[in-house]
């Protein structure tokens, strides 16, 4: 601690066991200076390369200095510690950039017109136009998907936790796990093949019909495993004495589940449902395949094309109009706000849930 | 570190909560006395009195409820099977109509009078982009996970972990938009630089234009799977038994040695599973890649020239102008994707499952 050093490890005659606190800073400065000299001297790059090369030199220098002073084990410890910290910085940069771009570009069209109008009759030269139809579509599709999935998912979880025994229950659990990993585009293709191309022509004069309901079906396929998994975990956390108490009072099993187990696990189940909704609201691919997208407001989810916020972002991103990017970014901001509000609310709810881990 | 006390504290509150919650069901359980007969009447006729144990329930509510849950459970299996069946049913006619080899042809012209399409280049692009993304994302994600679980102050670690979970929820279309509108610039510069100094490597050969390349797609993908791998591995690292960590430290291990000897071996199966799940997500990612890749149909290891394509991105891009055969062809490619992700996911789940048994038997 009390040893005298200069920043450069070469010039140091150290006998102490630890590097002084300012040594890493000195090594960093030296590494950056060396990197700058090399990069600009050789003319091989810009400031980014200086930082990258500087980081590499810093790690090497730190290892060398620490190795010389403190020994190999401490040197490794320091180097890995520095690497782990730099991994963190490396990851924060792009994520911060995403957030910054989103907010700065998304604020451009954040006005009443955007939320009050659709893209109907908006040509390439019209600066306005909005996402009202897309917001309606997202809400309806996600709403219907939730109505389908929540009862199904909770009942499935009840079966797995309360009734299921042996191979069959194991198979269900396993395939719910596997289903979690189904790509969203595959679920879109499934509903395309099953609903749009085979079932919908039956009541659509023989023509395949895109609809918001088809998108809701595709979203349900994606939401189902998430809801089953989270409900399952919550049901398992309900203490056994609670169930046993109900049984001892003569309450039948089904009523115990409905009146005792489910209410106890409810906050956790709601959290899982909200996370599933948030994930479904952000899906683009299935909506693209089976709802078709549309420029006009379509309040009826069972007939004709419908858009959604995520699909709106994708379509505007591919639009040639010079006003399209601004619309895409504002819609993206709206979508992220919607998804994040749901997620944060779900996580806060989970934190208040007394059953949670 | 110190994970156990809050957990046991939670368990305590859970237990006390049990009592308070119990009041309601207990009150409710008084009701069956008047409830049960009415619910039993349709099945078992008038029992009257109702003092005895409820015996007759061959068609009672219990059966019905159990049947309902069983049906819901079966629905999951039905959906999985239905996905495979319907995809195959729609894919087969298109594959029959294909006039070239589905496996080797590099191109996608299913809408022609003589349909020609092949999965080779797409499958190659899918695997290449996912592998590149994981090569970038996994070391960084593990670094962050270790930072959050073992280096950062506890409060900061929790707050940042929460933030990472939020990032996992950001829709992929947003990352795609960011990659195309903003990130392609820096990546084009990087590509030009790589080409200038490392052009002798086949990876960085070619002569531009740069930007909408495999590199951009893979980097965007890496940023997207980063939060998933991070939050899963962080969870695993935090579950390392404190006793193991303290034993390592007490024997004089440095922090890194403690991590290497106690945390990493314990977390390895969990980390492998997290990586596999990230791989599954990367393989199936659609919109972000549809927005960032320059769509071409050739098998090339050059990752910086404009180009690259994946199965999922091709579906999103080609769906608009697909006719009947075109849709069938896209469904056939989707079936391939389904098969690939299914294999990856089943492997991941098998690993997780083995680990679960291992930890349970160890505990």
Lowest mean pLDDT among A9-23, B17-31, B110-124, B239-253: B17-31
> Distance between CA atoms of A306 and A300, rounded to whole angstroms?
8
Distances in whole angstroms, Cα of residue A98 to Cα of each of A101, B160, B179: 5, 16, 9
Q: What is the DSSP string of B126-181?
A: HHHHHHHHHHHHHHHHHHHHHIIIIIS-HHHHHHHHHHHHHHHTS-HHHHHHHIII
- Residues 6+ positions from A76 with CB-CB distance below 8 Å: A63, B254, B256, B257
Confirm whether B18 is domain-assigned: no
CA distances from residue A127 to A122, A282, A311 in whole angstroms, order as listed: 8, 26, 20
pLDDT digits (tens, 9 = 90+) for B264-306: 988 888 898 889 888 988 998 889 999 998 888 888 888 888 8
The structural domain count of chain B equals 1
* Cβ contact B298:B121 at 8 Å: yes
**What residues of chain B lie within 8 A of the CB of A328, using their CB?**
177
How far apart are the CA of B71 and the nearest CA of chain A, in angstroms? Answer: 8
Give bridge partners of residue B305 from the DSSP assignment.
Answer: B210
8 Å CB contact of B171 and A77: no
Contact present, A182 and B338 (Cβ < 8 Å): yes
Provide the shortest C-alpha distance from residue B333 to chain A (in Å): 10
* Token couple for A147: 């109505």
For residue B166, the domain's CATH number is 1.10.3720.10
* CA separation for the pair A226, A95 (Å, rounded): 25
> Which of B61, B73, B353 comes nearest A164 by C-beta?
B73
How far is CA B258 from each of CA B239, B255, B261, rounded to the nearest angstrom? 14, 5, 5
- Whether B56 is in a domain gets the answer no
pLDDT of residue B4: 38
Using alpha carbons only, give the angle B268, B262, A73 rounded to the nearest 5 degrees: 115
Interface contact B95, partner A, CB < 8 A: no
* Contact (Cβ atoms closer than 8 angstroms) between residue B285 and residue B224: yes
Alpha-carbon gap, residue B162 to B173, rounded angstroms:
22
Q: Give the Cα separation of B265 and B271 in Å (integer).
A: 10
Interface probe, candidates B72, B153, B327, B350, chain A, greatest A C-beta count within 10 A: B72
Model's pTM, two decimal places? Answer: 0.82
Confidence class for position B330, pLDDT limits 50, 70, 90: very high
The answer to whether position B265 is within a domain reads yes
| Rounded Cα–Cα distance for residues A87 and B142 (Å) | 8
- Min CA distance, A276 vs chain B (Å)? 10
pLDDT tens, residue by residue, A105-146: 988 888 888 888 888 878 777 888 888 999 999 999 999 999
Taking only residues 79 to 118 of chain A, the set having a beta carbon closer than 8 angstroms to any beta carbon of chain B reads: 80-81, 83-88, 90-91, 94-95, 97-98, 101-102, 105
- Confirm if B315 and A185 have CB atoms less than 8 A apart: yes
Domains in chain A, ordered, with CATH? 9-108 (no CATH), 115-352 (1.10.3720.10)
Answer yes or no: are the C-beta atoms of B69 and A149 closer than 8 Å: no
Give residue A308's Cα distance to chain centre. 18
pLDDT tens for B34-65 read: 444 444 434 444 444 455 655 655 668 888 89
> Considering only CB atoms, which chain A residues are within 8 Å of B28?
251, 259-260
Residue B22 lies in a domain: no
In a domain, B294, yes or no: yes
Cβ–Cβ gap A354/B14 under 8 Å:
yes
ipTM of the modeled complex: 0.85
Task: Identify from B43, B63, B73 which residue to disrupt to test chain A contact, counting A C-beta atoms within 10 A and taking the largest count.
Answer: B73
Phi, psi dihedrals of residue B283, rounded to the nearest 5°? -65, -35
Do B173 and A313 lie within an 8 Å CB cutoff?
Answer: yes
- Taking only residues 11 to 50 of chain A, the set having a beta carbon closer than 8 angstroms to any beta carbon of chain B reads 44-45, 49
Which residue numbers in chain A have pLDDT < 50? 1-2, 5-6, 14, 357
> Tokens in use for B298?
């050739």
Instruction: Assess if residue B223 is contained within a domain.
Output: yes
Chain A nearest-CA residue for B84: A190
DSSP secondary structure letters along B348-359: HHHHHHHHHHHH
Q: Is B285 part of any domain?
A: yes
Asked if the C-beta of B170 comes within 8 angstroms of chain A's C-beta atoms, the answer is yes
To the nearest whole angstrom, how far is the Cα of B73 from the nearest Cα of chain A? 4
The verdict on B36 touching A (C-beta cutoff 8 Å) is yes
DSSP string, B189-210: HHHHHHHHHHTTSGGG-S---B
B23: in domain: no
Closest by Cβ to A101, choosing from B68, B167, B182 = B182
Domain that includes residue B163, residue range: 108-362
């Amino acid at each position: 601690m009390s040893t005298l050093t200069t920043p450069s490890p070469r010039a140091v005659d150290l006998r102490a066991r630890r590097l002084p606190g300012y040594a890493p800073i000195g090594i960093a400065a030296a590494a950056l200076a060396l990197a700058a000299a090399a990069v600009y001297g050789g003319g091989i790059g810009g400031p980014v390369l200086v930082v990258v090369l500087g980081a590499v030199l810093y790690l090497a220098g730190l290892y060398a200095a620490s190795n010389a002073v403190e020994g190999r084990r401490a040197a490794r410890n320091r180097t890995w510690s520095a690497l782990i910290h730099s991994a963190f910085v490396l990851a924060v940069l792009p994520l911060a950039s995403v957030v910054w771009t989103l907010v700065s570009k998304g604020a451009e069209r954040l006005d009443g017109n955007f939320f009050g109008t659709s893209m109907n009759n908006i040509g390439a030269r019209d600066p306005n136009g909005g996402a009202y139809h897309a917001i309606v579509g997202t809400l309806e599709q996600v709403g219907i998907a939730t109505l389908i999935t929540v009862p199904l998912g909770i009942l499935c979880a009840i079966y797995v936790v309360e009734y299921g025994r042996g191979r069959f229950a194991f198979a269900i659990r396993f395939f719910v796990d596997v289903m979690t990993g189904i790509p969203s585009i595959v679920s879109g293709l499934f509903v395309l093949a099953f609903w749009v191309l085979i079932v919908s022509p039956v009541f659509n004069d023989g023509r395949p019909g895109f609809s918001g309901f088809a998108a809701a079906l595709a979203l349900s396929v994606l939401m189902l495993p998430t809801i089953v998994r989270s409900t399952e975990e919550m049901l398992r956390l309900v203490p056994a004495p609670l169930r046993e108490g109900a049984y001892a009072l003569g309450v039948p099993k089904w009523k115990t589940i409905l009146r005792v187990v489910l209410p106890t696990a409810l906050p956790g189940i709601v959290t899982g449902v909200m996370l599933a909704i948030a994930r479904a609201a952000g899906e683009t691919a299935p909506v693209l395949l089976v709802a078709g997208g549309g420029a006009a407001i379509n309040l009826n989810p069972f007939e004709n094309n419908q858009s959604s916020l995520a699909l709106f972002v994708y379509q505007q991103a591919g639009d040639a109009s010079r006003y399209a990017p601004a619309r895409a970014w504002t819609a993206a901001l709206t979508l992220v706000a919607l998804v994040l509000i749901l997620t944060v609310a779900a996580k806060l709810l989970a934190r208040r849930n007394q059953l949670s881990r | 570190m110190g994970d156990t006390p809050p957990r046991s504290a939670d368990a305590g509150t859970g237990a006390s909560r049990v009592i308070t919650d119990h009041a309601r069901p207990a009150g409710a359980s008084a009701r069956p006395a008047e409830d049960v007969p009415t619910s039993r009447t349709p099945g078992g006729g008038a029992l009257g009195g109702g003092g005895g144990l409820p015996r007759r329930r061959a068609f009672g509510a219990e059966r019905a409820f159990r049947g309902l849950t069983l049906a819901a459970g079966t629905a999951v299996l039905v959906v999985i099977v239905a996905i495979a069946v319907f995809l195959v049913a729609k894919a087969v006619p298109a594959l029959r109509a294909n006039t070239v080899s589905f496996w080797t042809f590099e191109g996608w012209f299913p809408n022609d009078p003589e349909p020609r399409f092949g999965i080779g280049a797409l499958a190659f692009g899918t695997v290449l982009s996912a592998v590149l993304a994981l090569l970038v994302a996994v070391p960084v994600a593990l670094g962050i996970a270790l930072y959050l679980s073992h280096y950062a102050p506890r409060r900061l670690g929790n707050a940042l972990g929460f933030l990472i979970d939020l990032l996992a929820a950001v829709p992929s279309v947003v990352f795609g938009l960011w990659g195309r509108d903003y990130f392609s610039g820096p990546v084009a510069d990087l590509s030009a630089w790589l080409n200038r100094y490392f052009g002798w490597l086949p990876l960085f050969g070619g002569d531009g234009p740069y930007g909408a390349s495999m590199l951009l797609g893979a980097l965007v993908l890496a940023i997207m799977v980063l939060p998933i791998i991070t939050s899963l591995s962080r969870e695993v690292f935090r579950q390392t038994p404190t006793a193991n960590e303290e034993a390592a430290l007490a024997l004089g291990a440095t922090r890194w040695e403690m991590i290497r000897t106690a945390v990493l071996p314990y977390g390895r199966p969990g980390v492998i599973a997290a990586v596999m799940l990230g791989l599954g997500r990367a393989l199936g990612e659609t919109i972000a890649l549809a927005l960032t890749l320059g769509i071409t149909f050739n098998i090339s290891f050059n990752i910086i020239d404009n180009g690259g394509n994946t199965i999922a991105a091709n579906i999103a891009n080609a769906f608009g102008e697909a006719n009947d055969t075109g849709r069938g062809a896209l469904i056939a490619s989707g079936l391939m994707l389904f098969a690939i992700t299914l294999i990856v996911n089943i492997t991941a789940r098998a690993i997780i499952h083995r680990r679960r048994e291992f930890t349970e038997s160890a505990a």
